[in-house]
Amino acid sequence: MDHCLQRARIDKGMGFRLPAIRVLVNMGVVSYGAYVFHLAAAGLVHKAYFYAFGQELDRGALLFALGSTLTLVTAMVSWKLFERPINSLKSYWPYMLRLRGRPIDAA
C-alpha cells in the first residue's frame, strides 16, 4: 500500500497527520475542470453511442463509466494545457487584500 501513498502529509491541526493518497490529491487538482466539462462529456458520449450503435444510451452504468472517463481525461488535459500555465502567472502579480481601505499582503 506504500506505493499508493504520497510522501506529502496533510496536517490536520490537531497534532496528527494523514498521508495524502496521490489519486485523491490529483482528482482534487482537476475537480474544477471535471465540474466544468461533465455535462458536455455526458452529451458527447450519448451522441457518439447513438451514432456508433443506433441506440439510445439514456441512463445507466455504461453512460456513467464512459462519461466519467471522458470527463476526467478532459479535465486532466485542461489542467495541463490551460489551468497550470495560467496559475503559474500568479507569481508576476501579487495578490493584495484590502481591509478598511488599507492593503494587506496575502502572502
For residue range 2-26, list pLDDT tens digits in order. Answer: 434 444 455 545 555 556 777 778 8
Question: Would you say how long the chain is, in residues?
Answer: 107
- For the chain of 107 residues, list the mean pLDDT of each consecutive stretch of 10: 44 56 82 93 93 87 93 94 90 70 60
- CB-based contacts of 99: which residues, under 8 Å, 6+ apart? none
- Residues paired with 10 in a beta bridge: 18
How many CB atoms are located within 10 Å of the residue 71 CB? 23
